[in-house]
Amino acid sequence: MRIIAISSGKGGVGKTTLSCNLGIAIAEQNKRVLMIDGDMGLANVDIHFGVRPLQHLGDVLKGKSIKECITPLYKNIDLIAGGSGLVELTHLNAFQRRELINQVQDMQFSYDYAIIDTASGIYEHVLHLNAVADECIIVLTQDPSSFADAYAMIKVLHQKYKLQNFKVVCNQMKGMKGEALFIKFAEVVERFLSVRLSLLGSLPFDENLQKYQQQQRSIMRQTADSATANIFRQIAVEIIAENAMGGARDSFSEDTSQKTSGLAAIFRPATGHA
């Protein structure tokens, strides 16, 4: 299973919208997708799909099986909800992490992809979710603060976790092509950091995205033949094709003996010790 973390330096850039629609686009390719709401304590992936999870990660810590806490979302897509208003989920202790690791070990072969919709910013748990992912996707908009905060996130992930490869999706583009914004961003980042950036896709500003979000719907399901929906499909196809070719994974640990693969790594401390 390939783990994809979708992040942004700031909120309001369309990160969750990208995560949900990309999940549907990958599932359309007959791949099993597990959505993980990594914005633990302020979860909202369920809102985008118009569902109300009966259980979440907080229930696992209270003794529920993690399999009982999976919410079906759509054909080939399931969700592990993070829970809303649960501050304790962002501060798991060693015992709680071990419990979650034991629970998820049996799940990692049930899915082809896990998409983590992380919280915004450079909080420790957000950085860790990116560090354990096979692929880090950064969402960028024309907003100068998005530009600056995305740079800050990449800088911290590179310096603290030694990550070198990042994918970028330019979103909400108005009057400017995503390629131009990406080139501008890449020139700044690669001038100061030894990292490799690649443009995964560019999404135009689409009022339908905002409208469907308010209606708890996805553009992939409502206007499946729209230009925006087809861009999501193109991104999904590129991700699947790269995975088939054996895309390399960055490492956040110099000691490979301390790595934990699959879903279990998500809940493992960044130091490599439970």
Helix axis angle for 144-161 and 124-132, nearest 10°, is: 70
CA–CA separation, 145 vs 107, rounded Å? Answer: 38
pLDDT tens, 51-96?
888 888 778 778 888 888 899 998 999 998 876 655 666 666 767 7
CA–CA separation, 99 vs 236, rounded Å? Answer: 33
What does the pLDDT average to over 178-199?
A: 96
Structure token pair of residue 160: 């603290």
Out of 123-127, 137-141, 261-265, give the one with best mean pLDDT. Answer: 137-141
Torsion angle defined by CA atoms of residues 240, 158, 126 and 12, in that order, rounded to the nearest 10 degrees: -80
CA–CA separation, 73 vs 50, rounded Å? Answer: 9
What pLDDT was estimated at residue 272? 44
Amino acid residing at 258? Q
Q: CA-based angle 22:27:28, to the nearest 5? A: 100
Q: Name which of 177, 179, 176, 155 is nearest 166 in CA terms.
A: 155
- Positive or negative CA dihedral for 244, 246, 248, 252? positive
What pLDDT was estimated at residue 254? 41
For 41, 159, 251, 254, 258, the CA distances from 162, given in Å and listed in that order, are: 28, 6, 7, 9, 15
**272/129: higher pLDDT:** 129
**274/261: higher pLDDT:** 261
pLDDT tens, 230-246?
999 999 999 999 988 87
Structure token pair of residue 143: 């907003």
**Phi, psi angle pair for 206, to nearest 5°:** -130, 115
DSSP-derived 3-state class of residue 24: helix
What pLDDT was estimated at residue 124? 83
Structure token pair of residue 224: 């499946």
DSSP-derived 3-state class of residue 84: strand
What pLDDT was estimated at residue 87? 60
**170/47: higher pLDDT:** 170
Least confident residue range of 33-37, 205-209, 227-231, 237-241: 205-209
**254/28: higher pLDDT:** 28
DSSP state of 29: T
Of the pLDDT bands very low, low, confident and very high (cuts 50, 70, 90), residue 151 is very high
CA 9 to chain centre: 13
Of the pLDDT bands very low, low, confident and very high (cuts 50, 70, 90), residue 274 is very low
Strands 33-38 and 77-80: what pairing?
parallel
Q: Name which of 228, 213, 234 is nearest 28 in CA terms.
A: 234
What pLDDT was estimated at residue 259? 47
Is residue 183's pLDDT more than 70?
yes
What pLDDT was estimated at residue 65? 84
Neighbours of 235 (CB within 10 A): 22
pLDDT tens, 192-201?
999 999 999 9
Domains of the chain: 2-267 (3.40.50.300)
Note whether 228 and 219 are within 8 A (CB). yes
